[in-house]
Amino acid sequence: MAAALDTVWKTRVAATEPQGDGWIVRGEGIVPFPFDAVIITVPAQQAAALLAPVDRRLADLAAAAISAPCWTAIAAIDSPVSATGDVLGEPRESIGWAPRNSAKPGRAGPKAWVV
């Protein structure tokens, strides 16, 4: 989805600052540059520090969020799994959700499920 965008990956951001109609992003190895938008994808507790200078209320909500740990595995399977659709049934006691990873656009290789 981001192929047509000027996207920066694998970079630690220390601060985001509104500037005019966009944003300045500061961090390790980042030359301050104006961006049209910033998407924060880290856990809420980590996002709080980036949000604080911009929106204190949203930062407080993020800081108060409680993350629940979980285990995730991806399994490549040689034989078909008997399932209808691309998500395995209703949440179960030990498996909360299992989408068919190989059904995502652009995925090649063996059939795989994220459990």
Q: pTM for the whole thing?
A: 0.57
Residues 18 and 60 in one domain: yes
Residues 57 and 22 in one domain: yes
- Plot region of 59 (φ>0 → left; ψ -120 to 50 → alpha; else → beta): alpha
Residues 17 and 59 in one domain: yes
CA 99 to chain centre: 16
Residues 21 and 58 in one domain: yes
Q: List pLDDT tens digits, range 20-46.
A: 999 998 888 788 878 888 888 889 999
